[in-house]
Amino acid sequence: MTIDRRAFMRNSVAALLASTVPFDIRAEDRPREGGTFIVNLEPEPSSFLFNSNTAGVLAGQVVEGLVEYDRDYKPVPALAERWEASPDGLTITFHLRRGVKWHDGKPFTSADVQYTVLEVVKKVNPRAGTAYKAVQAVDTPDPYTAIFRLSEPSPAIWAVLSAGEAAILPRHLYEGKPPLTNEWNNKLIGTGPFVFKEWQRGDYILLERNPEYWGGKPHLNRVRIKTITDPGARAAALEAGEVHYSPFSPVAPSEVARLKTVPGLRIETGGYGIFVPQFFFDFNLDRPQFRDKRLRTAFAHAIDRQAMADKVWFGLAKVATGPIPSAQAAAYTSDTTQYPYDPARAEQLLDAAGLPRKADGVRLRITHHTMPYGDVFKRVGEFLKESLKQVGVEVELVNLDLGQFHRTVFGDRNFDTFSTYYAAGADPQFGVLRRYWTKTIAKGVPWSNGTGYSNPALDKIIEASFTENDPARRRDLLVQFQKIAQDDLPSINLLELQHYSVVSTRVHGLSTFPDGYAKSFKDIWLEARS
């Protein structure tokens, strides 16, 4: 089979790019050098490694990938200057940039690429790892050449070569230690435009300009990443100009309309073109009661998703029709089993499942772990709790910090249900299929298959889609996937979310490319105060 990476990239992301624009160029056209860029990330990352969206923003300042992506999501050189693939797609050769150094002065070489791909991306990266599963070896004939040897074509690999998905790590600091618990995850050494200096947990992270950066000095002197857990204090800091940038919907959706009118601030929805957050409700299928499809179906009918979109998200969300979001138009179908809001039907199904109301009116008591990404997700939890209460299910909400959430849900698997979103990514392979694939049931790996769902027939369809390069045949496979997954219902797909950032009008050079949320701040500069 001949691999056509152009066809893959075109068909995977074309529908995501309609609203993207170039870098923000405003009144001043000459960058101002210096200054401290103050960023708020919520929640505070638990480490630099890819265990949260905010960790990706942080890491993107310090480490880099083999490529970056342009406004059309086409690869352009980063740590690799050029590359070529064999006609059969089984060999990809990357020619690396010479003279690049890690922040500790050690040279960057092909050995770093080899280690990162085989020991980190393949083994513990829940998103990009599926695209790298076919990589059987990385040859390093010299320090500046890395040759990927694949057992089968992997068209999707061309979409996950950047720092946001496959950041190259220093082999000399990581080799021989488990990557998820390596001490360097908290004081990362990279090749990027900013150097890690200090981390005061619960307060701030300080990065400074890398004066020896191969790509030229960044405009900024430093980046200070502040933790502001209180949403009111966060909004106040943005309004006062004490914070210049806060991504991933940092204020309540109810606040967006008001903040649009605040002088010196703007709401930016660009930069999330490939992110496409799909919000869902997951069951722990290790628990016997949740293996009964009637119970899962009852829960789906008990939740008024349109009311959730309107009352909790204030229109910055729409009802999901299945596991693949509508923005992934090349794969999406709405022709799947639907579960309209119908409390009476939910009650009938719970009765049929052997869960009648007891004397106190309660059929079942469960816990629900909310997504640890701010107050809006706590409000979602309250909405879900009230919805299920109406049909006799009593819910105890569990609100944890990010590290505790990872350990409890994906490590200990000590939960009944949880809600969260996954970034769908440039293609369903990255943020959607891993929720349903048996091989991504990976205890201790955040954002993997949290339900524990396993369906061998569906696995075959998923795996066939990984290597199918014909767009029409691949779409057929993904339509089959959606129909089966939505009918089995191990997970209730609730909403497609619209992320937004709050940005000071002093900020220039902020990327609104499809993967802008994960790009470095090397091109950002701050306008002088008026």
| DSSP annotation of 399 | -
Q: Which two tokens stand for residue 255?
A: 């606040």
Contact predicate 527/32, CB 8 Å = yes
Residue spans of alpha helices (H) in 147-198: 163-166, 171-174
Report the SS3 class of residue 292.
coil
Its pTM stands at 0.84
* Residue 269 amino acid letter: T
Residue 27 pLDDT: 46
Task: Please classify residue 240 by burial: count the beta carbons closer than 10 Å to its beta carbon, then call 0-12 exposed, 13-18 middle and 19+ buried.
Answer: exposed
Angle, in degrees to the nearest 10, between helices 343-352 and 293-302:
160
The Cα–Cα gap between 427 and 405 comes to 26
The Cα–Cα gap between 78 and 71 comes to 15
Q: Which two tokens stand for residue 295?
A: 């119970």
Residue 51 pLDDT: 57
In sequence order, which residues have a C-beta less than 8 Å from that of residue 17 and are 6 or more positions away? 71, 72, 73, 273, 514
Strand partners, 67: 77
Residue 5 pLDDT: 56
Give Cα 501 to chain centroid, integer Å: 15
Report the SS3 class of residue 524.
coil
Pairing label, strands 507-508, 525-526: antiparallel
Angle, in degrees to the nearest 10, between helices 471-488 and 5-13:
40
The Cα–Cα gap between 374 and 393 comes to 25
The Cα–Cα gap between 478 and 131 comes to 16
The Cα–Cα gap between 71 and 490 comes to 36
Q: What backbone phi and psi angles, to 5 degrees, belong to 456?
A: -55, -35
The Cα–Cα gap between 421 and 432 comes to 10
Strand partners, 148: 92, 138
* Residue 251 amino acid letter: V
- The secondary structure element, H or E, covering residue 9 is helix 5-13
Residue 488 Ramachandran class (φ > 0 left, ψ -120 to 50 alpha, else beta): alpha
Residue 126 pLDDT: 76
> What is the full per-residue pLDDT of the chain (530 aa) written as tens digits?
444 555 555 555 554 544 444 444 444 578 999 999 999 998 888 888 765 778 889 999 999 999 999 999 999 999 999 999 999 999 999 999 999 999 999 999 999 999 999 999 998 887 788 899 999 999 999 999 999 999 999 989 999 999 988 999 999 999 999 998 999 999 999 999 999 999 999 999 999 999 999 999 999 999 999 999 998 999 999 999 999 999 999 999 999 999 999 999 999 999 999 888 999 999 999 999 999 999 999 999 999 999 999 999 999 999 999 999 998 999 999 999 999 999 999 999 999 999 999 999 999 999 999 999 888 999 999 999 999 999 999 999 999 999 899 999 999 999 999 999 998 888 999 889 999 999 999 988 899 999 999 999 999 999 999 988 889 999 999 999 999 999 999 999 999 999 999 999 999 999 999 999 999 999 999 999 87
> Nearest CA to 17 among 391, 330, 352?
330
Q: Can you point out the beta strands (E) in 129-190?
A: 135-142, 145-150
Task: Please classify residue 200 by burial: count the beta carbons closer than 10 Å to its beta carbon, then call 0-12 exposed, 13-18 middle and 19+ buried.
Answer: exposed
Q: What backbone phi and psi angles, to 5 degrees, belong to 124?
A: -130, 5
CB atoms within 10 A of CB 413: 15
Pairing label, strands 417-423, 364-369: parallel
| DSSP annotation of 316 | S
Residue spans of alpha helices (H) in 139-224: 163-166, 171-174
Residue 8 pLDDT: 54
Domains of the chain: 277-497 (3.10.105.10)
The Cα–Cα gap between 520 and 414 comes to 36
